[in-house]
Structure 1
């Protein structure tokens, strides 16, 4: 085994924060690039945007997660499943709003926006983001607190952050829209593409559509 490999492995084992920062430096920009690939409004990848995600994830989120995981063990000592559940939901009260605030404020500041614009995006999106977080993160953290050794918990969170950061990137990209507005817009697009403007190829459904139209015409005639 190479001495360099042993030295690096020793550092990573002794310093879980460093290991977490390295993981976040890969996961966060990758998540952003995945979101960009799903975005039909983009013609090419924005690698500077991915770099900003790497900076926020590595130097902002990773240390925050590390600190919180240490604090959670101190606040709620114990490793039973009951303790894990309590820690997971306590996280959504104490840590999640801070972490999400850091994301929105940090990423917009790195974009060079004015402070008032950063705060406005935070106001528009922090509550909708937190509502989704309450459903997503407790499941991950119950497993993390209940079954994963403490030295590996930052890595587990960073891996789950891959999916979460795709969502954050999606939320950040839709400027000035709440989650409800985004979902409503997507629902209308789906109806337009799959129901209202596509012909019904199934003969049975086509017959049902014709019968419905005839019934509506008869009802209109009676009203007249």
Structure 2
């Protein structure tokens, strides 16, 4: 156990990878429960895909983004946190969402063309919601949370977000179109 703690202290990205390897499939289970599934009907391969993606893609890329942004803006005040949050929304977030839909589709054994179609259908509606949520969470993360705890903090916050991503991921394309139409009517 002591060796495990030493590894987590020496390599904080591993802590994030473990967190995301557990949080992402948990979000998938929550989302599947909302779909009406129960213990005997859960899609465990879907959970595995979420675990692999969260642990081996999201955690390392998020950890890297946090390290880069902390080096660029080392202060931990509200102003700097807000700047980091804004930059994140226009740099990391679009790439992360594109990769989510694309890579998860490939893990489902969809073709590259099908993965690209999913990105084109679901990116914008998801990104609009992200713009309403993540600047606030990121500002708190960058201004109030110590750097060593930023990935775990975001991991906890992302549990709910990942439930939303799981929901969006498994919406049929026609339902995404209906959601976009409802969103446009609400804007009018």
- Taking structure 2 as the reference length, the TM-score comes to 0.90
Q: For 2:45, which of 36, 43, 48 is the aligned residue?
A: 48
Aligned partners of 1:128 and 1:178 also within 8 Å: no
What pairs with 1:53-64 in structure 2 (closer than 5 Å)? 53-64=50-61
Give the Cα–Cα distance (whole angstroms) in 2 for the partners of residues 179 and 133 of structure 1.
16
- Per-residue CA deviation, residues 83-113 of structure 1 (Å, 9 max, x unaligned), is 0011111100000001111110111000000
Q: Post-superposition shift, 1:160?
A: 1.0
Asked if 2 retains the 8 angstrom alpha-carbon contact of 1:121 and 1:175, the reply is no
Of 39-48 and 166-175, the range deviating more from structure 2: 39-48
Report what 2:19 is aligned to. Answer: 23
| 2:71 paired with 1:71 | no
SS at match of 1:26: helix
Highest RCO, 1 vs 2 (Cα 8 Å, sep ≥ 6): 2
Give how far 1:41 is off.
7.6
Task: Provide, for residues 145-197 of structure 1, a one-character-per-residue CA deviation record: whole Å limited to 9, x for no partner.
Answer: 11111111111111111001100010011121465623878xxxxxxxxxxxx
Structure 2 unmatched ranges of 5 or more: 183-188
Give me the whole-angstrom Cα distance separating, in 1, the residues matched to 2:68 and 2:25. Answer: 27
Partner of 1:124: 121
Pairwise CA RMSD: 1.9
Displacement after TM superposition at 1:123 (Å): 0.4
Larger Rg: 1
Q: Where does 1:1-224 land on structure 2 (aligned, <5 Å)?
A: 5-40=1-36, 44-177=41-174, 179=176, 181-182=178-179
* Superposition misfits of 4+ residues, deviation over 6 angstroms: none
Alignment length (residue pairs): 181
5+ residue gaps, structure 1: 186-224
